[in-house]
Amino acid sequence: MTIDRPTSLGDIKVTLDTVSAIVAEIALECYGVVGLTPRNNNIGDQIMIILDKNKYSKAIALKKLDKGYDLSLFLILAMNTKISEVISEVQKRVRYVLNSVFEKDFFAVNVFVQGLSDGNEVIK
């Protein structure tokens, strides 16, 4: 999947890996976000993986719809944080930056909390 952006000099095609890197950096800057996790975490019921930088695209799903784009993001949050506030902040910041950078409408930024971390281990 790519995001197409026409310019006067030609078209720019931005890959999912690039979008994922931008989204990951925005999310990780938010208080309470520990890391990103794969959308299909089938390692086991009690084990969660926090992704390295080069695999962030596994934590993000992007769909192009008639109105714009729908983005889903899979996170691990810190324990003892107000989950609804962290999610709301991630959604606002991600949507604002993507709308500004790509000049496209990202009308939905869905955040899925896959687990909580106490600093030592991740609890699913």
Per-residue pLDDT at 42: 57
The pLDDT tens digits of the residues spanning 33-61 come to: 998 988 776 555 445 567 667 788 888 99
Write down all domains in the chain, each with its CATH number in brackets. Answer: 2-123 (3.30.70.1350)
C-alpha gyration radius of the chain = 15
Res 46: pLDDT? 47
Q: Judge contact between 96 and 109, C-beta under 8 A.
A: no
* Measured CA distances, 105 to 15, 33, 77, 98 (Å): 17, 24, 27, 8
What's the pLDDT at 55? 80
Which pLDDT score, from 0 to 100, does residue 109 have?
95
pTM score of the predicted model = 0.84
Below-70 pLDDT ranges, the chain: 41-49, 51-52, 121-124
Q: What pLDDT score was predicted for residue 105?
A: 87
Q: Which two tokens stand for residue 75?
A: 């996170």
